[in-house]
Amino acid sequence: MQNEQEFSKAEKFWMNFKLYQFWRFIVLNIKIYTIAVQSKWH
Amino acid sequence: MAKVLVIGAGFAGHTAALYLGDKLGRKHEITVISNRDVFGYVPSWVWVGVGHMKPEQTIFKLKPVYDRMNVKFVHASAKEIHPDADDQYVLGEEVGTGKEIRLNYDYLVVAPGPLLNFSGTPGLGPENGFTHSICSLPHAIKTRDAYLALCDRMKKGEKVKIVIGTGHPGATCQGAAFEYIINVHKDLLKKGLRDKADILWLSNEPALGDFGVNGVQIKRNGIVQKSDDFIKAVFNDHGIRYQVQTGVTKVEQGSIHWQNYEGEEGTTDFDFSMLIPQFKGQPFKYIGRDGSDVSSKIVNPMGFVLVDGKYGLPYPELSQTPEAWPAQYQNPNYQNIFAAGIAFAPPGPISKPFTNKNNLAIAPAPPRTGMVSGVIGRVVAMNIADLITTGKMTHSERMTEMVAACIASMGDSLWDGNAVTIVMRPVVPDRKKYTNEYGRDLFISHLEMGVSGAWMKFMLHYTFIWKFKALLGWKLIPE
Ligand SMILES: Cc1cc2nc3c(=O)[nH]c(=O)nc-3n(C[C@H](O)[C@H](O)[C@H](O)COP(=O)(O)OP(=O)(O)OC[C@H]3O[C@@H](n4cnc5c(N)ncnc54)[C@H](O)[C@@H]3O)c2cc1C
């Protein structure tokens, strides 16, 4: 965030840039799956 | 042959039933009693409430799933629990006929979700009040209709006031209300009506982005970022006004009465409002063998089931005692009774509670989200399977160990939708394990906004319905 209470222009660009967001989609899926699945071992 | 009875078929009860059916269904009797014959995928009711998803896309019939999983299904509302040894049973009322049904059990899982306590705030709610709710499917449908009627008024040029948030000083589930306010904003934008609406977030949280879990904190590029700033940026970006530290005390036609931390009293006008009510436990009767009321051995005064947590610790002590949070969700007085999901009694709040000078406690109750409810449902089911097969429980998971991932959608379009992806570990801060001031794993915890979140939310809808239908590979999908 450019200051504490606003998103910068660059941040907004990346939020909507589809190719980057596809990368984030893969990364977030892997991250969430790997930490969530650990619960099954409890 | 052991008899296991599950009350409720939501995130917690249905998850428990699937694991119980899978583990024990062939040799033992697993029964689910639910007052609805469908499973409801609650998170998507946010989309129902703005008219973006058909209600029938969020539900499916339970019985065909249970038939495949060796689980008996009883379409009835549970009323009484008789927990004393040698004659343990639940009395229910069959939906449609009103016929009394008696179900004996050796193990009982209480998972009926919350009682939506609209009467806790005079004038609140869609039935006897002036506000709306998305906490049940009929409510979400009614909310949609009222919202679309409001849009028609705006199309004719009328300017309106929309208030969304919490409708009781002790309400929880701020995440759902947050998602709804953002979806309303996005929908109005698409309809070209955003300039006709003044939208206000009104909540009992100590700070924006608290969500009843003391906020979310992450470390990015070496700097700690907090959900407070993040959600402020979202609201500023969307032109949504906000007022936190506020407990709603009464609602009248078109006006909400509240008190804040300073003890000031005020009113806020509205044309359309969706406020989450206080949650209580379902009002079952707990009856001993001699006909006496044994509820104090099973539930707290709010009706939530007492389990293996340490109750009564003052907040400063509780916030430093991760082991006060229950691990196995087993009632200490009746050890064959377990509670899962919203039904279990948490040992106290996660967010810092506050009482103002008028003695009004403004304190969000701890959320037991879908993921938390599902995890508890599985832990309880596996432990009951353990008890039946080996006599010893081997599973446990406290909320101070659990991870939660929440995707708060901001519109459902796969092209220009958006969502905030929130990951936190653990849900309840563990200040012994994570020695930073937040008690969280700042590396795993995550806050991010982007179109990818909208894709995830969409994917989760179908993935979870797949899982809850117990289709191929369902156990590989985390809760
Ligand atoms: C609009 C909305 C959006 C949400 N979004 C998210 C999200 O994105 N992610 C997330 O993790 N969580 C989300 N949540 C929270 C999540 O839905 C709840 O945490 C979860 O539903 C709780 O599960 P449960 O099984 O305890 O209760 P429920 O899901 O409410 O299930 C209880 C079941 O018991 C049945 N029942 C009730 N009384 C009786 C009775 N007397 N006899 C028999 N059966 C009975 C009910 O009909 C119901 O089927 C959201 C909540 C709402 C309201």
Domain boundaries, chain A: 18-42
Which residues from B are below 8 Å from A16, CB to CB?
416, 450-451
pLDDT 10s digits, B259-314: 999 999 999 999 999 999 999 999 999 999 999 999 999 999 999 999 999 999 99
How far from B365 is each of B51, B182, B277, B352, CA to CA, in Å? 29, 22, 11, 10
Q: Do B233 and A5 touch (CB under 8 A)?
A: yes
Q: In angstroms, rounded to a whole number, what is the distance separating the alpha carbons of residues B314 and B348?
A: 8
A9 CA distance to ligand 1 middle (Å):
39
Q: In angstroms, rounded to a whole number, what is the distance separating the alpha carbons of residues B415 and B455?
A: 9
B112 CA distance to ligand 1 middle (Å):
8
- In this predicted structure, the answer to whether residue B52 has a pLDDT above a threshold of 50 is yes
Question: Which ipTM score applies to this complex?
Answer: 0.89
The response to whether residue B341 sits with its C-beta less than 6 Å from ligand 1 reads yes
pLDDT 10s digits, B198-223: 999 999 999 999 999 999 998 887 88
- Pick the atom of ligand 1 nearest to B39's CA: 49
Q: Residue B420's closest chain A neighbor by CA?
A: A15
Q: How far is A42 from chain B (nearest CA, A)?
A: 6
Residues 6+ apart with CB under 8 A from B108: B4, B5, B6, B7, B81, B83, B88, B90, B336, B337, B338
Nearest 5°: phi and psi at A41?
A: -85, -5
Instruction: Please name the member of B378, B402, B448 whose beta carbon is closest to the beta carbon of A24.
Output: B448
Q: In angstroms, rounded to a whole number, what is the distance separating the alpha carbons of residues B180 and B168?
A: 17
- In this predicted structure, the answer to whether residue A2 has a pLDDT above a threshold of 60 is no
For B93, half-sphere exposure in the C-beta direction (CA atoms, 13 angstrom radius) is 6
- Pick the atom of ligand 1 nearest to B140's CA: 1
* Strands B217-220 and B115-117, bridge-based pairing: unpaired
Residue closest via CA to ligand 1's atom 23 equals B11
The response to whether residue B41 sits with its C-beta less than 6 Å from ligand 1 reads no
Which letter does DSSP use for residue B220 in this model?
E
Q: In angstroms, rounded to a whole number, what is the distance separating the alpha carbons of residues B471 and B479?
A: 14
- In this predicted structure, the answer to whether residue B412 has a pLDDT above a threshold of 80 is no
Which residues share a beta bridge with B109?
Answer: B6, B338
* pTM summary value: 0.96
B158 CA distance to ligand 1 middle (Å):
36
Residue closest via CA to ligand 1's atom 15 equals B369
The response to whether residue B17 sits with its C-beta less than 6 Å from ligand 1 reads no
Contact B166, B276 (CB under 8 A): yes
* Strands B418-424 and B446-450, bridge-based pairing: antiparallel
Closest CA relative to residue B62, chosen from B53, B54, B50, B71 = B71
- Angle between helix B174-190 and B227-238 (nearest 10): 20
* Strands B38-40 and B59-61, bridge-based pairing: antiparallel
Q: Which residue has the higher pLDDT, A38 or B213?
A: B213
CATH architecture under which domain B3-116+279-389 falls: 3-Layer(bba) Sandwich (3.50)
The response to whether residue B11 sits with its C-beta less than 6 Å from ligand 1 reads yes
Closest CA relative to residue B75, chosen from B22, B19, B23, B9 = B9
**Structure confidence at residue A4 (pLDDT):** 61
